[in-house]
Amino acid sequence: MIRSGSCTIRTARPADVPALVDLIESAYRGERSRTGWTHEADLLGGQRTDADMVRAAVMHSDGTVLVAEDVTGVVACCQLERRDDHAYFGMFAVSPALQGGGLGRALLAEAERFAGENWGAGEMRMTVITQRYDLIAWYERRGYTRTGELTPFPYGDERFGLPRRPDLAFETLARKLG
């Protein structure tokens, strides 16, 4: 358990799944998400995740989900997955009411520390929707670089949302750790 400001950062448990699904949905989709700056509501409708997907991340044998909680409950999270020569970072969400206050930056730093110290990861990678210019810029300010490696959006798979435009794709961002 790590303390960051008024939050505690810890590893997620199966009992956290409902709160995590609600947090992720609130940060990315629907009207609640528009309170914060990280939403995808203009790009995608539908769901961002579901309980099965979150449960799989929490229980993944080569991964973990970190959660930040305060007196109100779970307020931020991220998924880490150990891969061949790097750690993958995803499912990053901060409560819209708390965005812009440094919590996301602290959780990202803890994720990088965790991956480097616990797994010996020399690099962190993630994928970001290419149209998320403000979010990509935020990661670039934290040392991530655009790789130019693009992956198509999974059109037709409603588990990942309902696209509002036909040109969505993911770009891999990477940062050396250590």
Q: What is the pLDDT along the chain (178 residues), one digit of tens a residue?
A: 566 668 899 999 999 999 999 999 999 887 777 887 877 888 998 888 999 999 999 999 999 999 999 999 999 999 999 998 899 999 999 999 999 999 999 999 999 999 999 999 999 999 999 999 999 999 999 999 999 999 999 999 888 889 999 999 999 999 999 8
Q: Residue 5 has what pLDDT?
A: 65
* CATH assignment of the domain containing 100: 3.40.630.30
pTM: 0.92
Please state the length of the chain.
Answer: 178
Rounded CA-CA distance 133/30 in Å is 20
Count structural domains, the chain.
1
Query: What is the DSSP secondary-structure string of 123-152?
Result: EEEEEEETT-HHHHHHHHHTT-EEEEEEEE
Q: Residue 30: which residues within 8 A CB-CB, separation 6 or more?
A: 41
Q: Residue 23 sits in which domain range?
A: 2-176
Q: How far apart are the first and last CA of the chain?
A: 21
* pLDDT value of position 94: 96
Residue 66: predicted pLDDT: 98
User: Which helix (H) or strand (E) segment is 174 a member of?
Assistant: strand 169-176
